[in-house]
A and B are shown apart, each in its own frame.
Chain A
């Protein structure tokens, strides 16, 4: 088994959870009004809010997803870091201060501030719920991923544990406890990621990444005249590669045939009936080795076995000149067994440091693959400023100036962290720590290579990362249901106390739905999933926010219809696209577009403009009412 049970990790995790629960009890006793429940009473200091922004934003997608993606496909994963950070520019320069000025508890308040429209209340609340759900899925998937190694429990148990703790945090004290959980977690994540990066530089690069308690597996190469006790059983060709099935001591293993030799590969065998086998044996035998190493290291023009300590830019420079061994996934069928093979591929370091290993924009690119790339970068850029759980943070500070200053602190903290992701991802790719069955664990497993203590702390922080983000998402969803839908849209005119109670019931319900979705979506890259949340948010919310702020002809019907078109188009493209089709139906999908923003954002924007122009009379009536 790749993961070992760590008592220290459990102790740290339990201490953190108890601390968080204590904090929630403490603030819960002080939370009596809807203002304190939904917006922490607008009393949070900008410094605390800035770090809490980072804690809210640096979710499982950032720490687990991006690091994992960089470890597997290099710079393509770093594109997410660039895009996520760039999105804060939109938040700071266009949205932060007006949002603070216009809204009360929720993003819907701000959109509806000028119109008092039922259509806006309904559509914006639905949009908040959909975006939050899309964002919740990857967090819950990440939670399950973490709990497996940390507590030795199944994936679904991790999802349930996170769901239960978060429901408790939100249901007791709402935004106040959520803010402090995010503040603590944001600070710890940045500090310990810096320490992890320090270890990477201290360790340098080596072709044999052995660590104190973790010897790297030496992959064997067989030749027809030197089979080392293996017997060739059969061969299967897939995608131009020949895979050979070998037997030794009753165990079946897979090799790749290349230049007349057989290179050892990793395999997962799913028999028609019975237990899954890892490299031909049950998981507990520990034969599914951690991988990822340098094939050739060139430093200062000379080939070396290891580099010793490196400076940050020197680390990148050496990788750029050297070669790595990556393991690529191929699925084959052998009789009634479904086999997933991970075979060795030597990759020049310079290919890891440019886009292209995941997003096909270089040689062989098609117009569709380029459109996917542009669309993803657009969604990441425009998505941040339209995420409801981020926008509600602006209501927790006392002034517009505080909103602005907390955003700048957030950009600095988040930007620093995202620079570290490139080092952490490449560190994982070269230190022999990757679990090919789960890329999301690359960051914590890298920490494990440097010591169980660091692994325990990083895992506990990663877990806290999920708690912080999920709390924010559930507060946003709870506000959408209790404040936007029940109180304002349905016009129930709840008392302050009843509104808080409705918010807590909503938090419980949303938490339960998130748990179910987290179990269903197991195994998908969390950063990839968050990319969809950004696309839906950018399409449904941003045209409405920006046009409300910068175009006087915007009408209530224009906003409501643009939200609907944004949601429907983005979801429609995602659901009929290749990733969902492959995951759930085993088909290619109706089209090849995975990133919908370029179409859905444009469609929503055009809808807003045309509908607003067609309903200008509504604004005239609005002016008369105001007069």
Chain B
């Protein structure tokens, strides 16, 4: 069907494990993101309350969501690379 990738890709035995990990991390992040949106619509005043250093919950949570995405991404890459190294060894 001439649909395959533009470059030749090898067989990836780790793809199933990586996919499950991806779904898990996606659910985790979605929950944290969903809580932020939920606080906004159900308990709006809480976002203005100071958390530490005169920074309110909105600022801390907003920055936290950005940093959390980066940290989660780095962990994901580390684990995926580990799976690839373990499962894609030459047989």
Contact with B59, one of A113, A353, A374 (Cβ below 8 angstroms): A353
Which B residue sits closest to A83, measured CB to CB? Answer: B33
Q: B23 near A101 (CB under 8 angstroms)?
A: no
Q: A381 near B33 (CB under 8 angstroms)?
A: yes
Q: Measured between C-beta atoms, what is the minimum distance from A452 to chain B in Å?
A: 32
Q: Which of A272-280, A328-336, A404-412, A432-440 contacts B (4 or more CB under 8 A)?
A: A404-412
Cα A103 to Cα B2 in complex, Å, equals: 10
B residues near A377, Cβ cutoff 8 Å: 33, 37, 40
Cα A370 to Cα B23 in complex, Å, equals: 28
Q: A361 near B40 (CB under 8 angstroms)?
A: yes
Q: B26 near A94 (CB under 8 angstroms)?
A: yes
A residues near B5, Cβ cutoff 8 Å: 42, 100-104, 395
- Residue interface bits A420-447, CB-to-B below 8 A is 1, else 0: 0010000000000000000000000000
Q: B33 near A321 (CB under 8 angstroms)?
A: no
Which A residue sits closest to B37, measured CB to CB? Answer: A377
B residues near A412, Cβ cutoff 8 Å: 70, 73
A residues near B67, Cβ cutoff 8 Å: 415
Q: Which of A161-169, A281-289, A312-320 contacts B (4 or more CB under 8 A)?
A: A312-320
Cα A533 to Cα B30 in complex, Å, equals: 21
- Residue interface bits A91-105, CB-to-B below 8 A is 1, else 0: 011100110111111
Q: A89 near B40 (CB under 8 angstroms)?
A: no
With A395-B5, A411-B69 as given contacts, are A89 and B77 in contact (CB-CB < 8 Å)?
Answer: no
Q: B3 near A102 (CB under 8 angstroms)?
A: yes
With A42-B7, A412-B70 as given contacts, are A419 and B58 in contact (CB-CB < 8 Å)?
Answer: no
B residues near A38, Cβ cutoff 8 Å: 6
Q: Which of A17-25, A74-82, A151-159, A225-233 contacts B (4 or more CB under 8 A)?
A: A74-82
B residues near A92, Cβ cutoff 8 Å: 22, 73, 76
- Residue interface bits A295-322, CB-to-B below 8 A is 1, else 0: 0000000000000000001001100110
Cα A411 to Cα B75 in complex, Å, equals: 13
Q: B15 near A93 (CB under 8 angstroms)?
A: no
Number of interface residues of A (CB under 8 A): 66
Q: Measured between C-beta atoms, what is the minimum distance from B4 to chain A in Å?
A: 6
Say if the beta carbon of A373 comes within 8 Å of chain B: yes
Which residues 23-68 in B have Cβ within 8 Å of A in the complex? 23, 25-26, 29-30, 33, 36-37, 40-41, 44-45, 47-48, 50, 53-56, 58-59, 62-63, 65-67
Q: B70 near A104 (CB under 8 angstroms)?
A: no
Q: B3 near A112 (CB under 8 angstroms)?
A: yes
Q: Measured between C-beta atoms, what is the minimum distance from A358 to chain B in Å?
A: 13
Q: A356 near B44 (CB under 8 angstroms)?
A: yes
Say if the beta carbon of A203 comes within 8 Å of chain B: no
Which B residue sits closest to A408, measured CB to CB? Answer: B73
Number of interface residues of B (CB under 8 A): 51
A residues near B50, Cβ cutoff 8 Å: 320
Q: B29 near A86 (CB under 8 angstroms)?
A: yes
Q: B47 near A405 (CB under 8 angstroms)?
A: no
Say if the beta carbon of A215 comes within 8 Å of chain B: no
Contact with B77, one of A43, A85, A405, A422 (Cβ below 8 angstroms): A405
Contact with B44, one of A97, A113, A361 (Cβ below 8 angstroms): A361
Q: Measured between C-beta atoms, what is the minimum distance from B14 to chain A in Å?
A: 10
Q: Measured between C-beta atoms, what is the minimum distance from A413 to chain B in Å?
A: 10
Say if the beta carbon of A576 comes within 8 Å of chain B: no
Which B residue sits closest to A90, measured CB to CB? Answer: B26
Q: A82 near B73 (CB under 8 angstroms)?
A: no
Q: B18 near A419 (CB under 8 angstroms)?
A: no
B residues near A41, Cβ cutoff 8 Å: 6-7
Q: A93 near B22 (CB under 8 angstroms)?
A: yes
Cα A38 to Cα B5 in complex, Å, equals: 12
Q: A78 near B62 (CB under 8 angstroms)?
A: yes
Say if the beta carbon of A39 comes within 8 Å of chain B: yes
Cα A521 to Cα B69 in complex, Å, equals: 34
B residues near A43, Cβ cutoff 8 Å: 7
Q: Measured between C-beta atoms, what is the minimum distance from A414 to chain B in Å?
A: 9
Say if the beta carbon of A116 comes within 8 Å of chain B: yes
Contact with A313, one of B55, B62, B72 (Cβ below 8 angstroms): B55
B residues near A361, Cβ cutoff 8 Å: 40-41, 44
A residues near B48, Cβ cutoff 8 Å: 350, 353-354
Contact with B47, one of A98, A113, A354 (Cβ below 8 angstroms): A354
Cα A439 to Cα B19 in complex, Å, equals: 42
Cα A86 to Cα B37 in complex, Å, equals: 12
Say if the beta carbon of A179 comes within 8 Å of chain B: no
With A93-B22, A104-B5, A355-B58 as given contacts, are A81 and B41 in contact (CB-CB < 8 Å)?
Answer: no
Q: Measured between C-beta atoms, what is the minimum distance from B87 to chain A in Å?
A: 13
Q: Measured between C-beta atoms, what is the minimum distance from B35 to chain A in Å?
A: 12
Which B residue sits closest to A115, measured CB to CB? Answer: B1
Say if the beta carbon of A327 comes within 8 Å of chain B: no
Cα A166 to Cα B4 in complex, Å, equals: 29
Q: Measured between C-beta atoms, what is the minimum distance from B79 to chain A in Å?
A: 11
Say if the beta carbon of A455 comes within 8 Å of chain B: no
Cα A343 to Cα B7 in complex, Å, equals: 59
Say if the beta carbon of A362 comes within 8 Å of chain B: yes
Say if the beta carbon of A523 comes within 8 Å of chain B: no
Cα A301 to Cα B66 in complex, Å, equals: 30
Q: A354 near B69 (CB under 8 angstroms)?
A: no
Q: A75 near B18 (CB under 8 angstroms)?
A: no
Q: A400 near B2 (CB under 8 angstroms)?
A: no
A residues near B56, Cβ cutoff 8 Å: 320, 350, 353-354
Q: Measured between C-beta atoms, what is the minimum distance from A602 to chain B in Å?
A: 15
Cα A353 to Cα B40 in complex, Å, equals: 13
With A42-B7, A104-B3 as given contacts, are A97 and B18 in contact (CB-CB < 8 Å)?
Answer: yes
Say if the beta carbon of A15 comes within 8 Å of chain B: no
Cα A92 to Cα B74 in complex, Å, equals: 11
Cα A101 to Cα B53 in complex, Å, equals: 47
Supply 23 A–B pairs (Cβ within 8 Å), ascending by A. Answer: A41-B6, A42-B6, A43-B7, A75-B59, A88-B73, A89-B26, A92-B22, A93-B23, A100-B5, A101-B5, A102-B5, A104-B2, A112-B3, A353-B56, A353-B59, A354-B47, A354-B48, A355-B40, A373-B40, A373-B41, A377-B40, A401-B84, A404-B77
CB-CB nearest 7 A-B residue pairs: A42-B7, A93-B22, A317-B54, A93-B26, A42-B6, A362-B44, A408-B73
Given contacts A85-B66, A361-B44, A408-B76, 5 further A-B contacts (CB under 8 A): A86-B29, A93-B76, A363-B44, A377-B33, A399-B9
